[in-house]
Amino acid sequence: MKVLVLGVNHITATVEIREKLAFNGPKLEEGVSGLRQVPEVREVAVLSTCNRVELYTCVNTIAAASENIRNFLATFHGMQRSEFEKSLYVHSGSDAVRHVFRVASSLDSMVLGEPQILGQIKDTFDFALSKKSTGILLNKLMKKAISTAKRVRTETKIAENAVSISFAAVELAKKIFTNLAGKSFMLLGAGEMAELAARHLVNNGVQDVMVVNRTYERGCELAREFNGRPVKFEDFLHELVNTDIIICSTGAPSYVLLKDQMHKVMKERKHRPVFIIDISVPRNIDPEINDVDNVYLYNVDDLQGVVHSNIHERKKEAEKAEAIIDEEVEKFNRWLSSLDSVPTIVALRQKAEEIKREELDRFKNRFSDLGEEKTKAVEYLASAITNKLIHPPTVALKEDTEDRDELIAMIKKLYAIDGDDE
Amino acid sequence: MEIILFEIALTFYFAAAIVCVLELFKGTKTTSTIMLSLAAVGFAFHTSNIIARYVLSGHIPIANLHEASSFFSWCIVLLFFFLEYRYKLGLLGSFIMPIVFVLMLSSSMLPRKIEPLSPVLQSYWLGVHTVLAFLGDAAFAMAFGIGIMYLTQEHFVKSKHLGGLFQRLPSLQTLDEINYRLITVGFPLLTLAIITGALWAESAWGSYWRWDPKEVWSLITWFIYAVVLHIRLVAGWRGRRAAILSIIGFCVVLFTFFGVNLVLESKHIF
């Protein structure tokens, strides 16, 4: 039995192909049960997200199974095999295990270290469990993938430091103000990036939200969205006295806030710190305002710079993560090889021999005057019983049946034979 | 015996200070635990040293410059543990433990002999006056360390160098608030120390105020911190300016403590 992974991701496949291959909604259940019927496939779990579609399977023979699965994919999604063949990657054995661990640890993600993928892997696993489409091997693989991902998260800094502009803005805000709860916030202008950052701030507890817009109606609309209040453009300077965080993104061709004005505002607000994020291009806030005491001004390039260095940081951490994954793959392989029937049969025999010897020794001590002939007879009896007892399990282990892996695990458990299972 | 206790404490503080400085470059949970344990062991030996000296001399062991700067360090470490427990500020130790070590080192180089108290000093005022003064000074030392942390962190935010140190230092607002709180604690203690000093002077020398250099410099210190508090409340000077003022304030404290005795003539032994 071998692990086989087939899939496409954001790098190998265009969004059109990913869409066609996706298993979403009711297709997931149909797909999983369909795959279970594919000859040579024994266990299956399906991961389908917007960036990747992956089939995790456990198969008898790689080549045949891989062929069958491709055919299944083509029929199931109503595609020609040639449509997706080029985008498809196939991993088997140790490579497959490594691939699953890397995906779960977010090393294969578009945004390195992003946290969603682990949740998606968990969902995949839960779904497979509920449909009973996985068995001992994939269950173990999925569990190990999740624990490896957690190890990567705690032992490296791969998930630390924001890698999007809006998150970087929130992180910075937290280094200026300890707690964003109770802080007041002004959205000056509008725009996708500004609104996203605003939403993150609101989610982090910013309370008094003011929305300023050249067109008052648009301002009212946005204000409703953020649970804030609209402020007329003419009044915004006046409201700055009560504003701790400003996100500016207007289409103005020149500065809307000058250094002198800011000096005045700061005096009025008794120099309480202000964090200004200027996302507008061209810039709307006089860059010299950063020189005013207790005013911290960041423009879009500054934030971009922060994001870039954080991404660089994550890439360095990814190297550490790969080492952890190597270790875990190694452990998994050891477990996998312990599942082979031969070592299990040997272990079972040893166990039986051990028990026989112990009992015989005890017997001989007790009846030391029995005489050689009779002792021989007893020894013979003991051997006959142990051999008879372990014969059926040995035969069963030697047969190459569907459920042999389960059988091996079961026998190990029943006879308390230690596997290499941590 | 008590000298050995002092040396052990000094060694542990030295080790803690080294770990603290290393922590600036690469800090983990382990390094901060090691640093705190080293400081705690040092503190335990330091405390027993002070108790031993009390038992040996029969009076509160703050009677010469060696004992004074030792007790000063002890107060700072005590306050450090309190702040660490209360606020869990990352890297506070890196800015405080070196100060403690330098104070302890200078203490170790001063004459340590226990001599009988001169009649003037044989008064309960000795304990009250000196303990108040050093607790206040310890708060100012802490405000100094926090002030440096503030300036460091502010430099990172303003210049947009957001590296690892930036990540590990506390937020600007936290630092500013604690700086302020420390001065509001240190200032009344200093005030009380000056008042008890005056009362003691009256009973010992017959007048409340004799323009002794120590008294003058204490007054200057008092004025500086009064100004810090005043302009914060009235004009809202906070952040960088408050941090700078608390750094200047502590420099004056240090001069009042060491400098006056070295440069000027004073009736105060320390």
* pLDDT tens per residue across span A364-399: 888 888 888 888 899 999 999 999 998 988 888 877
- Closest-CA residue of A relative to B172 is A176
**What are the tens digits of pLDDT across the range B9-28?**
999 999 999 998 888 887 77
CB contact under 8 A, A175 and B237: no
- Closest-CA residue of B relative to A308 is B162
Which candidate, A290, A245, A244, A302, places its Cα nearest to that of A263?
A290
**What are the tens digits of pLDDT across the range A234-289?**
888 888 998 999 999 888 888 989 999 999 999 998 889 999 999 888 888 999 99
Average pLDDT value for residue range A137-142: 92
To 5 degrees, how large is the angle CA B186–CA B188–CA B192? 115
User: Is residue A216 exposed (0-12), middle (13-18) or buried (19+ Cβ within 10 Å)?
Assistant: middle
CB contact under 8 A, A273 and B158: no
User: How many Å lie between the alpha carbon of B92 and the closest alpha carbon of chain A?
Assistant: 16
**What are the tens digits of pLDDT across the range B153-207?**
999 999 988 877 888 899 999 999 999 999 999 999 999 999 998 888 888 888 8
Name the 3-class secondary structure at B114.
Answer: coil
Q: Judge contact between B90 and B121, C-beta under 8 A.
A: no
DSSP state at residue A318 = H
CB contact under 8 A, B171 and A175: yes
CB contact under 8 A, B173 and A177: yes
**What are the tens digits of pLDDT across the range A109-121?**
888 888 889 999 9
**What are the tens digits of pLDDT across the range A299-346?**
888 888 888 888 888 898 999 999 999 999 999 988 887 777 777 888
Q: Can you give the pLDDT at residue A75?
A: 93
To 5 degrees, how large is the angle CA B167–CA B171–CA B175? 130
Name the 3-class secondary structure at B82.
Answer: helix
Q: Can you give the pLDDT at residue A179?
A: 87
Q: Bridge-partner residues for A230, per DSSP? A: A211
| Number of CB atoms found within 10 A of residue B268's CB | 17
| Number of CB atoms found within 10 A of residue A350's CB | 11
- Look at phi and psi of residue B239 and say left if phi exceeds 0, alpha if psi is from -120 to 50, else beta: left
Q: Judge contact between B202 and B208, C-beta under 8 A.
A: yes
**In the predicted model, is pLDDT for residue A421 greater than 70?**
no
**In the predicted model, is pLDDT for residue B261 greater than 80?**
no
**In the predicted model, is pLDDT for residue B109 greater than 80?**
yes
User: How many Å lie between the alpha carbon of A325 and the closest alpha carbon of chain B?
Assistant: 22
Q: Bridge-partner residues for A70, per DSSP? A: none
Q: CA B174, CA A18: separation in Å to the nearest integer? A: 48
Q: Judge contact between A149 and A65, C-beta under 8 A.
A: no
User: How many Å lie between the alpha carbon of B165 and the closest alpha carbon of chain A?
Assistant: 12
Q: How confident is the prediction for chain B on average, in pLDDT? A: 88
Q: Can you give the pLDDT at residue A84?
A: 92
Length of chain B (residues): 270
Q: CA B149, CA B20: separation in Å to the nearest integer? A: 14
Q: Can you give the pLDDT at residue A419?
A: 54
Q: CA B179, CA B250: separation in Å to the nearest integer? A: 12
Q: Judge contact between A316 and A77, C-beta under 8 A.
A: no
**In the predicted model, is pLDDT for residue A405 greater than 90?**
no
Domain residue spans in chain B?
Answer: 1-112, 118-270
**Edge-first strand listing for the sheet containing A295-299:** A229-232, A208-213, A184-189, A245-249, A274-278, A295-299
Structure tokens at A268: 């009025």
**What are the tens digits of pLDDT across the range A78-112?**
999 999 999 999 999 999 999 999 999 999 988 88
Average pLDDT value for residue range B208-216: 83
Q: Judge contact between A247 and A277, C-beta under 8 A.
A: yes
Q: Can you give the pLDDT at residue B78?
A: 94
Question: Which residue in the block uniquely carries the two structure tokens 């991902």?
Answer: A149
Residue A236 φ then ψ, to 5°:
-65, -35
Sign of CA dihedral B98, B99, B102, B107: negative
Cβ density class A88-115: b for 16+ within 10 Å, e for less: bebbbeeebbbbbbbbbbbbbbeebbbe
A50 tagged catalytic: yes
DSSP state at residue A285 = B
Structure tokens at B12: 């542990």
**In the predicted model, is pLDDT for residue B74 greater than 90?**
yes
Long-range contacts (CB closer than 8 Å, 24 or more residues apart) made by A300-305: A300/A165, A300/A193, A302/B160, A303/A165, A303/A168, A303/A169, A303/A277, A304/A165, A305/B160
**What are the tens digits of pLDDT across the range A346-369?**
888 888 999 999 999 998 888 888
Q: Can you give the pLDDT at residue B203?
A: 83
Half-sphere exposure of A374 (CA within 13 A, CB side): 7
**What are the tens digits of pLDDT across the range A28-46?**
999 999 999 999 999 999 9
Q: Which residues of A touch B (CB under 8 A)?
A: 160-161, 172, 174-178, 269-273, 290, 293-294, 296, 298, 302, 305-306, 309
| Number of CB atoms found within 10 A of residue A281's CB | 11
CB contact under 8 A, B157 and A172: yes
Q: How confident is the prediction for chain A on average, in pLDDT? A: 89
To 5 degrees, how large is the angle CA A310–CA A313–CA A315? 115
Q: CA A14, CA A145: separation in Å to the nearest integer? A: 26
